[in-house]
Structure 1
Amino acid sequence: MKTHPNELFFYYAPESNGSKQTRAMAYAITRHVNEFNFQKERLTSTAWRTLLNLLGLRAKDLLNRAHPEYQAKIAGHDFNDEDWINILINHPYMLKAPIAVKNNHAVLCKSPNDILKLG
């Protein structure tokens, strides 16, 4: 599939920290933003693996460990890589921050200014 050279993919849970500000920054970088709102859409395990490879992170690195549901259901358990991917698929609202991808480079936007790393 052909994409615009300035196209930015923005993956977020609206209730996550800084999503609104980071989303606004995405539109400041380019008009070509493809949004993936986790309240409306689910990513496949392949899509999550692709994002993790671009980020250079593990699935558990993306989760907000302070989230009450993380503390209640996940903390203290030993999961394999596939289990962590399934947690992301089923509980994307536990992401610690939005993810932005542009030109095969990805960044976990812990602060809204992190999206500027994509240029």
Structure 2
Amino acid sequence: MSKEDMGVIAKSDDELKLYYHPDTRIAKQCIALAETIKAEKVLINLAEVKLTETQWGELSELLDKDPTELINTDHPFIKETLSENPDMDPNQALKVLVNNPEVLRHPIAMKGDKIIEVFGINDLMQFQEMDSKDAKLP
């Protein structure tokens, strides 16, 4: 069994997963746009669903990022609890994400093997294009 086969996060080409925290302004926009994409939607509200360190670690690995890069260091929780310039190692970052998912820098969208951080709603259009095989050409 290869390392790729051992993931805890299920992937499906027919399913768009959106990991988000509702406190971010982009989250509502992402949810609205996700509704236009021809795929089953799995909206993972991080205020209601607690991911494990393993799941956060896998998401960061799939994004090819260190877990520390997923954290908004300007978030009030980080500034008030840790410091103005927190120096976290990856394990500390995973613990922060598990217990305080509101510090997630950007929503994360995933469909099949494609996974991205959503910096703006136009980023989600990449997933719409994956459905273009359904389009009728003149």
Q: TM-score, normalised by structure 2?
A: 0.77
Is 1:80 the counterpart of 2:76? The answer is: no
Contact 2:71–2:93 at 8 Å: present in 1 too? no
Deviations 1:13-60 (A, max 9, x none): 111130000111112112401111111110011111111111111112
Distance in structure 1 (CA, Å) of the matches to 2:56 and 2:122: 23
- Counterpart of 2:24 (choices 16, 26, 36) is 16
Contact 1:8–1:32 at 8 Å: present in 2 too? yes
- How big is the alpha-carbon RMSD for the aligned residues of Structure 1 and Structure 2? 2.0
Q: What runs of 5+ residues in structure 2 fail to find an aligned partner?
A: 1-9, 131-138
- 1:5 is displaced (CA, Å) by 2.9
- Counterpart of 1:117 (choices 83, 107, 126) is 126
Worse overlay, 22-31 or 104-113: 22-31
- 1:117 is displaced (CA, Å) by 2.4
- 1:115 is displaced (CA, Å) by 1.4
Within a 5 Å distance, the mapping from 1:1-80 to structure 2 comes to 5-75=13-83, 76-80=85-89
Whichever residue aligns with residue 81 of structure 2, its letter is K
- Asked which structure has the greater CA Rg, the reply is 2
Distance in structure 1 (CA, Å) of the matches to 2:52 and 2:38: 26
- 1:11 is displaced (CA, Å) by 0.5
Kindly indicate whether structure 1 or structure 2 has the higher relative contact order, using CA contacts under 8 Å at least 6 residues apart: 1
Aligned length: 119
Q: Secondary structure at the match of 1:35?
A: strand
Identity of aligned residues (%): 28
Task: Classify 1:71/1:57 alpha carbon distance in 2 versus 1 (closer, same or farther; 3 Å).
Answer: same
